[in-house]
């Protein structure tokens, strides 16, 4: 089987919260909401019948200098 050369994703919504500090290390207490695009409503019919969903996201407002790093370390721990 041939492997695909690329994967293309199209957004169906945005994730919003009140946090503006992109350097925040502990996001576990940040409550966010997913706002779905109305035009994608039919594609999501029946989603409410599931207990969990997997959300794939891209931090589009993350500064380019962070995206270009070859690696990142949890909580700034560079010993790993």
Which DSSP symbol is given to 18?
A: S
Spatial distance between the Cα atoms of 63 and 61, rounded to a whole number of angstroms: 6
pLDDT of residue 46: 93
Spatial distance between the Cα atoms of 40 and 6, rounded to a whole number of angstroms: 23
Q: How far apart are the first and last CA of the chain?
A: 36
**Threshold 0.85, pTM exceeds:** no
* Domain residue spans of the chain: 13-76
pLDDT, tens only, 9-67: 888 999 999 988 877 778 788 999 999 999 988 888 998 999 998 888 887 877 888 77
């Amino acid at each position: 089987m041939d492997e695909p050369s690329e994967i293309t994703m199209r957004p169906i919504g945005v994730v919003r919260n009140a946090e503006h500090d992109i350097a925040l290390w502990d996001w576990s207490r940040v409550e966010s909401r997913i706002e779905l695009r109305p035009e994608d409503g039919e594609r999501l019919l029946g989603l409410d019948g599931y207990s969990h969903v997997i959300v794939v996201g891209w931090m589009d407002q993350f500064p380019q200098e962070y995206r270009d790093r070859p690696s990142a370390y949890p909580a700034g721990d560079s010993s790993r």
